[in-house]
Chains A and B, each alone.
Chain A
Amino acid sequence: MKYYDIDLKKTLSKKRMVGLLRLMKGYHWLYIGATVALAIATISRTGIYLIIRQFIDDVVLAGNYGTNLIRVILFFIGLSLLQGAFSFVSGWLASKTAESSTRRLRNYLFDHLQRLPYAYHAESKTGELISRATSDVDAINRFYGEQAIGIGRILLMFIVNFIAILQLNTRLALISVIAVPVIVGVSIFFFSKVSKAYEEYQEQEATLSSRLQENLTGVRVVKAFARQGYESYKFDQENWQKFKLGKKLLSIHSLFWPISDIICGAQMLTAFFVGAMMALNQEITVGTYIAFASLVIWIIWPMRGLGRLIVQTSTGMVSYSRVVEILKQDREPLNEGDYLPDGNVNGEIIFKDVCFSYEEDHPVLHEINFVCNPGDVIALLGSTGSGKTSLVNLLPRFYDADSGSITLDGVELTRYPRKYLRSQIGIVEQEPFLFSRSIKENIKYGVLRDVSDEEVIQAAKFAAIHDVLSAFPDGYETLVGERGVTLSGGQKQRVAIARALLKNPSILILDDSTSSVDTETEAQIRAALNKLMQNRTTFIIAHRIQSVMAANLILVFDKGKIVQKGTHEELMKQSGMYREIFDIQTRIEVELEKEISSVNV
């Protein structure tokens, strides 16, 4: 837990504002510090103007130079330093809070996502999850670092300067804020309009991008039909639409700023005028007028920005709700379970009356019964959707059965901690997922101990992929994926076999589909698989007779049920699906013979 110090799930709140504040738990004092520093900085700046007032009244106009002058200037510089230092401290603390909270949130979200049950991932859209974990977290970061503190800054400026003017003269103070509600109102109205126009503009940007992307990825079609002109025309339409939306956005901006300029300017000038008149009538001193004229600027103009910040905070809130959708999910308890053997499992697996469904009333597995002895090879045969994959998903507890019992070495599967269980099981899929890192790292991926290069090479040799890998310019360091090499399905599969070999599990799950590889590669993969299966309890999801013939037990699946089970010899004696499949294989050879000879005639 050193990557995040608290369980963020416990900070969740239905009230979004409360939730956002609780999300920065542990950094509250920093944030309060930031606010206090901000207040000190603001007060200091106001103090500067009050010093200038003294300077004018007590020094310049009183003709009282000497120690008074020095004192006032020292005060002036001192306050300036104070103001500068504390506004820096405030910014430092606020960004520390924002960045620390978001770092913790990112780490937590990443861990949370990889620890959520597989079922959650199977139902979620990847793009949606990513955007919540990235853009929405950025929005929360901005909420802390810019919006909340920004609103605080404007409000503090208003309060402090208002109080200062109030001290100078009550009437002046009231006159200087007449238009403030109008300014804030106009600003909120405007920025909510702008944010709508901006959204439209952004959407058009996305449309334009996908238009472009479509053109680039479909370049062969474009060229094949010589449609360059048409493509330019279509792109231009979207491009022009974006220009028009941009223009609309700009029109709103170009109205708001001058209008608010005039309102703020009128308010400021009114204050100047009244102040000047009062100074003329000697109701206030000249120094007071000068201080007032400066303070009033700090009250009025920042108010224009308040609308923007207030409108933006709603984005932060929406993002928070979206992140909460992920945070509130329950993690898969990896270490939960009361039975933890010392060494490895033997691999005796018994299914008894196992039923399973993803959704209620749609049973996927129905009363599955079979016994598998340690070291056995169990072959699962059947069409897509007949339940083979669902059955093997139960073994590493990606899902748990609804009813019935699965025991491993005589102990209920649910009593084993998932983490231990998974350490005992290796999976080689048909199109295995490789990570965009080096091939070496991919092979070492599942092994938590340190692995020497020799071991990696040994595993690769066993998996019959060493020759392919050494032929790459960067060898085992070659990157996989978008930014490196693209491996073929067969090559990926062999990397996964090497990965499984290094892991050395007691139980193995294989998806034995070697489609779309040439005969030679198929033979290599088969040999590699055979090595891998030695001394392990193996479940093969099979697509061909050849790979099941040697199995200790063949389970033939149809619509979630086991319709036949036995060895190859036993099943051959029965009539049923298995023998039909076998007959087809023989028939193919006969037909091939016929086909070839027909040509030769």
Chain B
Amino acid sequence: MSTFEEFDEKEYGKLTGNILGRLLSLLKPHWKWVVGFLLCIAAVSIIDSYTTFLSSRLIDEGIRAGNRQAIIRIVMIYASMIVFQASSAFGFIYLVGVLAERVRYDLRKRMFNHLQQLSLSYYSQTPVGWIMSRLTSDTERLSDVMTWGILDITWAIINISTAAVFMFIINASLAWIVLILLPLLIVIAIRFRKTILLFYRRSRKMNSKITGAFNEGITGVRVIKALSREEGNLREFSELTDGMYQASFKAAWLSALFLPTVQIISAATLGIILWRGGMQVQIGVMTVGGIQAFVSYITFIMWPIQDMARVYAQMQNAVASAERIFSLIDTEPAVKNRSQTVQTESIQGDIRFENVHFHYEENDPVIKGIDFLVKHGEMVALVGPTGGGKTTIVNLLCRFYEPTQGTIYFKDVDYHTMKLQDIQSRIGMVLQTPHLFTGSISDNIRYGKLSANDQEIEKAAKLAGAHDFIMQFEKGYQQDVGEGGNLLSVGQKQLISIARAILAEPELFIMDEATSSVDTLTESLIQQGIDRLMKDRTSFVIAHRLSTIKRADKIIVIEDGKIEEMGTHRELIIQQGKYYQLYTQQFRQELEAQYDIFNKQEPVEAG
């Protein structure tokens, strides 16, 4: 199967002072919560050790001493401890849990708001999935370690320390034996945990490959059947499941080995302690209750050790997550306002491209020096082959990107000096594959002007020619469009996106004409809608239809990042150059489609 390895991410990060500082700053606004849960967990932890100590006193002072009162007294203390511990437990679970949610909330909010500021170039270079994992799995991992992780470590350290203190109180020489053993247990535990985590992650990775294989096996089933590839596929798939098996099984049996190993080591220690402790009872240095306390302390020492090891292992992953999250937050928007900006009331007027160059990567120019002037109110058609640079020109015009050389003038003002918001809020755009948002039709049209009332929305829809089909829906304007608008047809989505643009009342209108065909009625509705939009406005159209192209005041043929030809339809036809070729080819295709007595409807891509 395909190799996904090159996209694997760094799993371990090193905790530097810088990162630690930034991590702590995440908790700073909520420091009261942190102090709260730390106090609660400290109480829980100390009581844990103390009740064991109480049990031993119950034996010595109560049973062995034959003191009924002492038994009652100790049981009462014990009971109050349980109640106190339970209320502390309530405190820490609530505090740390809510804090974890809060840190997640903060992180996501911060990243999302930052993402809104980033330029289009960031999005074209960064896969959506990558960004998504920063806001989901990385955020989870980081916030867990920053809250539950700190809690567990605190609990473990206090638990072991207080247990040590009580052991020393009971019998110092025996306590030393336990203390010497501790580092060994911790080292073993950490090694175990790290290895287990490694295999666990490997198994997760195999799991996502298995999901990918299922996806392909199901979507490509027709080809698989036609080519009788069943056996080969199963063989390849079984390699994945074998890999998954190896990793998961190893992670599972290492986990199963972990606790017994720790237990056997502590049992050996306990053996020594029973032997020496038993002797000491004889000379009166050790009590029976003391032995019982040692048994308990050592038996349960595996829990804090296990927690410490687990958090330690997770910490390194969390740091790697933190690095990725911070790298997202630290990304500077490629396009942003200059330090000095001019006030812009309007961008209406002539638009001039002056020696505009653009490249994403050095040595790979996309736009190679473009000059042209568009008078106010003109309609410009950009034509040419795919990949020639039409979309880039439009993106430059909207200042989604900035030219690497040269500039664009709105009304003789260099657009670099304007505020981004001032430019982009005055542009209306209809994309080739219209993107709608989950919600109602009304919500989607309102996107063009958030303050619009229902009358305005209806008016815009009527102008766009969308009103009639909207009213045919059961819920009219309140009809749900589905995720990404997938409950509507492509033509309907286009009409709604036109209504959206009309509502925005833009000063400059940009349209990427759809290539996919829609039925004739919708097509003419779309045309009418666009006509209304373009009236008295400067507009740029990445044009695919002859009717649109022919109406343009200026046709610019873009090929290979340069202007190949420019002029009106008439001028360019007479010239018999590139445009002439494009035109005749398109003419045949359109008429074929138009005359097609089958009413051919090609499957259209959903946008």
Contacts and interface: CB of A to CB of B under 8 A. Distances in A.
Contacts of B97: 246-247, 249-250, 253-254
Most buried by B among A218, A255, A398, A589: A218
A419 B228 contact: yes
Contacts of A92: 253, 256-257
B259 to A, nearest CB: 7
A437 B234 contact: no
A95 B85 contact: no
Contact of B214 (A129, A214, A332, A588): A129
B366 to A, nearest CB: 17
Given A221-B435, A543-B600, A91 B296 contact: no
Interface string A120-137: 010000100110011000
Nearest to B68: A280
Contacts of B570: 599
B180 interface: no
Nearest to B122: A219
Contacts of B222: 118, 121, 398, 433
Given A110-B217, A289-B59, A425 B1 contact: no
Nearest to A238: B108
Contacts of A587: 591, 595
A456 to B, nearest CB: 15
B105 A599 contact: no
A52 interface: yes
A312 B551 CA distance: 66
Contacts of A471: none
Most buried by A among B94, B222, B510, B573: B222
Most buried by B among A208, A216, A382, A503: A216
B193 to A, nearest CB: 16
Most buried by B among A111, A138, A419, A577: A111
Nearest to A125: B218
A216 B224 contact: no
B63 A289 contact: yes
Interface string A207-243: 0111111111111111111111111100110011011
Given A448-B228, A577-B597, A65 B215 contact: no
A217 B573 contact: no
B238 interface: yes
A138 B248 CA distance: 11
Given A114-B217, A115-B230, A214-B437, A228 B116 contact: yes
B213 to A, nearest CB: 7
B39 interface: no
Interface string A56-82: 100111010100010011001100110
A470 B218 CA distance: 30
B431 A216 contact: no
B484 A265 contact: no
Contacts of B3: 479
Interface stretch (A192-200, A340-348, A358-366, A515-523): A515-523
Contact of B598 (A258, A269, A383, A445): A383
A384 B601 contact: yes
A98 B248 CA distance: 10
Nearest to B111: A212
A84 B224 contact: no
Contacts of B79: 265-266, 269
Contacts of B587: 588, 591-592, 595
B448 A276 contact: no
A585 interface: yes
B1 A220 contact: no
Query: For chain B, what secondary structure do more than half of its interface residues adopt (helix, strand, loop), or is it mixed?
Result: helix
Given A88-B256, A254-B90, A544-B592, A126 B271 contact: no
Interface string B68-103: 100100010011001101110111011001101110
Contacts of A451: none
A293 B242 contact: no
B400 to A, nearest CB: 6
Given A107-B238, A383-B599, A95 B108 contact: no
Contact of B225 (A130, A225, A422, A581): A422
B62 interface: yes
Interface in B202-242: 207, 210-235, 237-238, 241-242
Contacts of A113: 214, 217-218, 221
B219 A280 contact: no
A246 B435 contact: no
B18 interface: no
Given A91-B255, A130-B211, A250-B93, A220 B217 contact: no
Contacts of A229: 116
B207 A261 contact: no
B117 A228 contact: yes
B268 A77 contact: yes
Contacts of A84: 260-261, 263-264, 267
Nearest to A256: B93
A113 B234 CA distance: 11
Contacts of A118: 221-222, 225
A220 B117 CA distance: 12
A218 B105 CA distance: 22
Query: For chain A, what secondary structure do more than half of its interface residues adopt (helix, strand, loop), or is it mixed?
Result: helix
Contacts of B328: none
A383 B597 CA distance: 8
B588 A110 contact: no
Contacts of B241: 103, 106-107
A269 B296 contact: no
Interface stretch (B131-139, B346-354, B374-382): B131-139
A387 interface: no
Most buried by B among A215, A225, A229, A588: A225
Interface in A429-485: 432-433, 435-438, 445-446, 448, 479, 481, 483
B89 A383 contact: no
Interface string B429-470: 101000101100000000110100000000000000000000
A58 to B, nearest CB: 11
Interface in B277-308: 278-279, 281-282, 288, 291-292, 295-296, 299
Contacts of B595: 584, 587-588
B244 A584 contact: no
A257 interface: yes
Given A214-B438, A265-B86, A432-B223, A121 B218 contact: yes
B365 interface: no
Interface string B317-331: 000000000000000
B438 A261 contact: no
A483 to B, nearest CB: 7
B113 interface: yes
B135 A212 contact: yes
B120 A235 contact: no
Interface in A259-285: 259, 261-262, 265-266, 269, 272-273, 276-277, 279-280
Contacts of B435: 217-218, 220-221
A361 B211 CA distance: 38
Contact of A435 (B220, B288, B585): B220
Contact of A80 (B75, B112, B267): B267
A216 B126 CA distance: 10
Interface in A88-119: 88, 90-92, 94-96, 98-100, 103, 106-107, 110-111, 113-115, 118
Nearest to A245: B101
A264 to B, nearest CB: 9
Given A226-B420, A247-B98, A293-B55, 18 more contacts: A80-B267, A80-B271, A81-B267, A92-B256, A114-B217, A114-B224, A121-B218, A228-B116, A239-B105, A261-B82, A269-B79, A280-B71, A290-B59, A435-B223, A437-B1, A445-B223, A448-B232, A483-B2
**Those 4 A-B pairs whose CB atoms lie nearest each other, nearest first:** A91-B256, A383-B598, A80-B267, A446-B227
9 contacts: A130-B215, A145-B252, A216-B115, A259-B86, A269-B78, A277-B68, A280-B63, A290-B288, A588-B595
